[in-house]
Every structure is written in C-alpha cells, then in structure tokens.
Structure 1
Amino acid sequence: MSTTLEPDGTYEGVPAYCYDNTAGGPIGSHHQRWDDVAATHSGFRSSIARGFWVVTEGTAVQEALQDWRTFSSTSVTALDPDPKFLWIPEMLDPPMHTEWRRLLGREFSPKAVAAREPEIRRVAVELIDQLAQTDGADVLDGFARRFPTTIFLRLMGLPEEDLERFLDWVHDVLHLSYEQDPDRSRQFSAIQQVSAYFQEQIALRREAPRDDLLSRAMTWRIEGKPISDRDLHAFCVLMFMAGLDTVPIAVGWVLYHFAQHPEQRRAILADQALIATSVEEILRVYSFVIPARKATRDVTVGGCPVRAGEMVMLPLSVSNRDPRRYDNPRQVDLARTTSNHIAFGSGPHRCLGSHLARLELNVAVEEWHRRIPDYRVADGQDLRETGNMYGITSLRLEWT
C-alpha cells in the first residue's frame, strides 16, 4: 500500500480521497501515511462505502473523543454507521456507559491488576522459556498473541484449549479488509459465533457460578436491574476483542522496535528503570488504534462539515505523533519525561484495561530480555501490517 492517497476531488469544499483504512500494507506504511496527511490537511472525506470523515488534526482528535455528546459511541466502525451488533460498554454513551465502567472499575483497578502480577509473570516466563530453547521463531504466534490471550482466558474463566479458535475469530471480526468483506458479512458471522460461544458459557455459569469475571458480572445490576443475557453477550464480545487484539499487537511492536534498535535494547538491559518509559514511548509512536464516532448533530471538526448521523474517524496516531506536542515525535525517546499520549484513547471511553495492558507489556519486556537479550529480525521476510488496527502480520526473530 502506498502512503499516498488516491485523490477523489473534493466533497463540500474538503479534500476527498478513496481511502480504505482496512487495507493492509508494508510495515510502517500506515503511520507514514498519517504523518504525510496530517502535515497537509486537518481532515478529509473518504469515499469508501457510504463515505465518512477523517480528522487529521491532533488536537481536534482528542477534543472529539472527549465530547461524547457530539461524537457518540453508538457506532465505533467508520464503515458501519448502523451496526447490527452491540459491544458493551464500548458502544454505550453516558450515563449507561458510566454505570458499566463503575462496575468494571473494580476488576481493572490498579490494586486488582497488581494482584494478578505473579500469575501474569508465570505465563510470560513459561512461554518465553519454551522459545529460548530454540534459535528463533515467529514471535507473534509463539508469544505476542498467546501471552495476553492466555491471561484473558483465565480472567474470564474460559478453557485455554479454545485459544486458537479465539484468534481465528479475532481476525475475522477486526482484521478483514473492505475488499475481503465489503458487506461485513464475514465479520457479522464471526461475531455471531463468538456470541453463541458466550451464550453457552453464560448458561454454564447460571448453573454453576465460578470465581471468574463472567460469573461476577452476572451478579451486577444496571439501573437497579439484573443484567440481561443479551447485554452479557455484548459485554463478553467486547471483552473478547479488547483482551485478544490490542495487547498482542502492542507486544509485537515492542519486539519489532527493540529488534531494530539494539542500542535501546542495551539501554534497558543496563537500566531496567527505562522499561516503563520505553513501553509508553512505543505505545505512542506505534499508535495502532483508530476510533470512530457517530455525529449526533451538525458540527465542524478538523475543517470537516460533519452532518448528524455521519461517521468520523479519529486516528490516535495524528495526535501521538504531532510535532506540536512532542519534539522528534516519530522517535522512541527513552529520556522523554512527557507521557500525556492518548494511545489508550481519551475522554469517557478511555481504555478501561489500561492498567492491565501496561502491566502485561512491562512484564513482557522484562521477562523477554531477561531470557532472550540479543535478537534480530530474520532475513528474507516481507514484513507487513494489517489494516483497521495496525498489527504486524508475522515477525520471525533469530537469537543465539
């Protein structure tokens, strides 16, 4: 995929492009394209599918994410302003969203997450030790995807033998391009399969509750009423996607970055205090989440004349790599003291699992470099990244 957008004229006085964020491309191409576009436009119109707006001004992106009354989360997919499915709590607006976050906050608070650290570290060590006995591997399949997914399965009380099936579903829900799935039927089919899976799990918990998040969620009350099975399904689907995709993508970028920057790898080996900074910087520089919101009223944002009911894409990359916010914004700087990035989003829908994600990433970096400190990207690979959310498709590393 070229980083140059294909011009499509103008739309209501704003540049228009045949822009499809779901298309994959060479590694780094999405971030380069956002850098290029943000340098020349504050926003543009995409003519893909039913059309949508894209804001490329860093400040406007963050302000829109914070203004939930104008930019609703009832749809979070730019290609689908009227989704047939519901993800809870992501696709809820306050005050309902606030009630769900209050309940979930107990499960993902810093204290609750810290209590899980020994288990998280054990899972990481077991997986890395297996790889350390070899001289190289596809580290995405061997570690990045398995590590956080195993934690998610244990958190939800789900069978670990279902891991492979979950990874297949994640691909169809989140990583099919518009060209591969123009009517989103494959995505919807995968969501239905996930929903059916969780329907079975919910029935099992109704009969015999366990010590897991799903069982505890069944005891919660929203607006004074027990949570319906329908809403439990929607909650499980959201947890499934959040737990199985974002952290694996981040772990992949961490390993790729350090493989490409041995001087920074040596720095964190010499001073472990730099690990936390490196995690924050990699999250910022390689921002891979591209939220979308549905306008509730006519509004101008990033120079785009958005009408009520239209979709607006808000790429986090243009804010996190904004030269007006950061010196040398495209570089991971282990001496950077500012950590006000929005890699976890901004506003009321900021990632509820950020404490867990940070812990998993810090543990991954610590334990990986304790066991495999010296590694490199294997030769002969065509490194590529997915569209929609920018995860590396495969990454083989070699070590001695």
Structure 2
Amino acid sequence: MATMPDQPLQPDLRSRAPRPDHVPEAHVREIDMYALDGIEAGYHEAWKRIQQSGVPDLVWTPFTGGHWIATNGETVREVYNDPSRFSSEVIFLPKEAGEKYQMVPTRMDPPEHTPYRKALDKGLSLNQIRKVEDKVRTIAADLIESLAPRGECDFSAEYANVFPVKVFMALADLPMEDVPILSRYARMMTRPEGNTPEEMARDLEAGNDGFFAYVEPVINARRGTDREDLISVMVNAEIDGKPISHEKALGLISLLLLGGLDTVVNFLSFMMIHLARNADLVEELQKDSLALMRSAEEMFRRFPVVSEARMVARDQEYRGLHLKRGDMILLPTALHGLDETLNPDPWRINLARRGLSHSTFGGGPHRCAGLHLARMEVIITLEEWFKRIPRFGTREDINPVYYSGIVAAVENVPLVWPA
C-alpha cells in the first residue's frame, strides 16, 4: 500500500552538492529525482522532459548528494547489464541513504549474489506462481464485485492499494492488519523524507530497521518448518549447501515485503488512469483475450515506476566522460520504455508492437524476481475488471497527484462508470 510523504518536498530548501572537478559543466542539469519539474502533469511526462535532442547520455545533478543520470534507453540498459563496471553495492539515492540499505541480494554483485537469487527464483518461479492463480483471481473478483454497484471509486485507494497487498500478504501468510505499518516502512525507503542527504539517510535507515524488527520473529517462528508460504520457503532455503544465515534471511524477507507492498501497487494506478482516458484501447482489449494477455508487457514498457541507481565500480572512461569509483548513476526506467529510438511512438499502447525494449523489471543479474507475479496481477486485474466494469472513465474535476522517488506513486485516481 503506497504511503505518501507527510510533508511536501521543498526543492528550494534541499542541499546542492558542489560539482566535482571531473564533471564537465556542460553536463550539469538541476534534476531532483524526488521533486521532478512538471510532475503535476504526470510522472512519466516529467522524466521525458529531460530526454531532449542533443542531451548527453549522462548528465550530472547537484541534488540528492550529487549524481549522474542516464538519459536514454541504451545507457540505462548498458549500466544495468554490466555489474563489473557498475556495481549494486549502493542502489538507492542519495548515496548516504543507499549505504544504510541492508536488504539482500540487491546490494550484492555476482558471484556472491547468485545463490541468493536462486533461492528467490525458486520461491517466485512461474510454476510456483501458477499454483496461486485461483487465489489471486478470487481476491481481485471479490474486490471488484464490491466496487461495481457503486458506479465510482478511487482506484488508487480502493483497488491498487488493496489488491496486490492482499495477494502478497496471503502468499506470505501475514495478517492484513500489519499492512499500514509495513507500507509506511516501504515509503520511508522508496521516497525518504528530508532536505539533506543525511536527513534522507536517517529516514531510509529507520524504514530498513522497521522491516528487520518486523520480520525477525516471523523468521524465528518459521525456521525449520515444512510450511509452504513464501517466507517459509525463503528462510529454509540453502545457500551454497548451508542454511541461510539469520542476518541474510532478515535482508531477504525484508526485500520481499518491500517489493510486494510498493511496486505493483503504484504501477496499477498509472495503467488504469491511461485506460480510463482511452476507451478505444479498452474496447480493443475486451475483444481479444489473447491480446489482453499479451498487453501486460506493453503496459510495463509504458508505465515503469522504478528509478534505482548503480555505483561506478572503478575509475573508467565511459561515453566520453571520466567516471570515478564511487560515483552514482541513476537509472530512470521511464527513460528506457519511453525512448522513441527504441520504441517508436512510445506514448501509445500498441498491442501489435514487436521487439519492445524496456527496463521496467531492471536488468542483468538483478532483473526483478517478482515479474511473474506482477504479470499475473496485471492480467487478472484487467480480465476481472472488464467482466464487471466494461466501460469507465475519469472524473474530470479531480486530478491525480503524482510522486517521484525510487518507486513513483500516484494517488487520487477517481474512476466513474454506469452503476
């Protein structure tokens, strides 16, 4: 469940880092990943504004501790896919906050990362996810059934913030009453508050510590059991032939909670805003069940919500620039999926698109392990929604409110339909 910042971000009060000597002045742009210029018109629209003709492959911003930003799809993809040059040692910005992030295996590089990733892949494999399809569909159908007779809803608050959370809590066998506090921890990590890197680091660290404190008794209770829930599978996994350590289990289970309670939640609302404004696309999806199923990948290309980072692993020359070890590079996945050089006419959902290119699930060894569950949730949402609410639109007198960060968010998504 997405939780929004308690106070609006104030770019004018936030600190700016001095430009390092190795950063050419021509590459400097004032871009604040947590308070994008023009975000009131849309999160993706705000990021796309910097992808102009002639913009360098990498620009540097003094905000958020000072860091590079990849500005096109090719650069985003290359940095994701080359851990030998671009490390996952720190993945969140500002760097001071990212250094407080303790979840695994996202902060590991191969080969250390590999056995933990195998454990994740086993628990979230396509075969495992297919076993829970009926349960996922029932959760979606029951929720939409409760909304349909009303003729209106706030989709963000009443569906997107509920459905994937219910699914994940059921898979993990955790009580729904714990969702508000877990969602707050997720917000503290993906959209940390503060006007300086140090303030943001404290907020992110508090969120990380909150997750660890929550999962510790859960891990202790499920260690050594033969339960089949997702957490039990993970805590009883073997790493290099030995039981996973308690410390690493804390990081692994906390990562599952963070991913399950924030990412798909926000993606669904962005997708539904677009569908509510494009009745022809909705009609096209309803006519062809196969096209609907295939549409999920195009939806992911069009509405990426993640902007994580990589750390430069060693001093190197890259795309005409001198990068120093420890430099951070932000990878806005929106600038890959919406890059017209890789995806012609990128704003349009094109159900016939072939060879689509995106980094919505990341890339390289850290490609998101939850992608099969995410696809299932999107397809089931569309199928069950269209069965009960085939025609719907947005209230023109209320506008969505967008938030940027490591994971983007949107709230206030009022939909209306004939009751």
Is the TM-score greater than 0.5? Answer: yes
8 Å CA contact 2:121, 2:369 repeated in 1: yes
111 and 210 in structure 1: CA distance in 2 versus 1, 3 angstrom threshold: closer
2:179 to 159, 163, 183: 163
- For 1:38 and 1:192, locate their aligned partners in 2 and report how far apart those are by CA, in whole Å: 40
Structure 1 residue 178, shift from structure 2 partner: 4.7
- For 2:226 and 2:41, locate their aligned partners in 1 and report how far apart those are by CA, in whole Å: 44
1:248 to 259, 265, 288: 265
User: Deviations 1:271-315 (Å, cap 9, x if unpaired)?
Assistant: 222213332222112222112001111134454432101111112
Matched with 2:3 is none
How does 1:377-396 map onto structure 2 within 5 Å? 377-388=394-405, 389-396=407-414
CA RMSD of aligned residues (A): 2.3
Matched with 1:360 is 377
User: Deviations 1:333-387 (Å, cap 9, x if unpaired)?
Assistant: 1221333432212211111111111111111111111111111111322322111
Q: Which amino acid letter does the alignment assign opposite residue 141 of structure 1? A: A
SS in 2 for 1:361: helix
Greater alpha carbon shift after TM alignment, 161-170 vs 304-313: 161-170
8 Å CA contact 1:35, 1:318 repeated in 2: no
Q: Which amino acid letter does the alignment assign opposite residue 77 of structure 1? A: F
Matched with 1:317 is 334
Q: Which amino acid letter does the alignment assign opposite residue 139 of structure 2? A: V
Matched with 1:191 is 208
2:82 equivalent to 1:95: no
Q: Which amino acid letter does the alignment assign opposite residue 390 of structure 2? A: P
- For 2:196 and 2:138, locate their aligned partners in 1 and report how far apart those are by CA, in whole Å: 38
- For 1:27 and 1:166, locate their aligned partners in 2 and report how far apart those are by CA, in whole Å: 29
Moved over 6 A (4+): none
Greater alpha carbon shift after TM alignment, 379-388 vs 87-96: 379-388
Gaps of 5+ in 1: none
User: Deviations 1:134-189 (Å, cap 9, x if unpaired)?
Assistant: 12111111111211111111222211222233222222221235539843322221
2:146 to 125, 130, 149: 130
1:229 to 246, 271, 281: 246
SS in 1 for 2:329: strand
8 Å CA contact 2:48, 2:334 repeated in 1: yes
SS in 2 for 1:328: coil
1:50 to 41, 44, 65: 65
Structure 1 residue 204, shift from structure 2 partner: 2.2
2:393 to 357, 370, 376: 376
- For 1:58 and 1:371, locate their aligned partners in 2 and report how far apart those are by CA, in whole Å: 38
Greater alpha carbon shift after TM alignment, 67-76 vs 269-278: 269-278
Matched with 2:6 is none
8 Å CA contact 2:64, 2:196 repeated in 1: no
User: Deviations 1:12-51 (Å, cap 9, x if unpaired)?
Assistant: 3442123210126314244343344353312211101431
How does 1:154-303 map onto structure 2 within 5 Å? 154-179=170-195, 182-206=199-223, 210-303=227-320
Q: Which amino acid letter does the alignment assign opposite residue 63 of structure 1? A: E
SS in 2 for 1:312: strand
SS in 1 for 2:257: helix
Structure 1 residue 329, shift from structure 2 partner: 1.6
379 and 338 in structure 1: CA distance in 2 versus 1, 3 angstrom threshold: same
Structure 1 residue 127, shift from structure 2 partner: 0.9
Greater alpha carbon shift after TM alignment, 107-116 vs 163-172: 163-172
How many residue pairs get aligned? The number is: 395
- For 1:131 and 1:177, locate their aligned partners in 2 and report how far apart those are by CA, in whole Å: 34
- For 1:190 and 1:105, locate their aligned partners in 2 and report how far apart those are by CA, in whole Å: 25
The normalised TM-score by structure 2 is 0.88
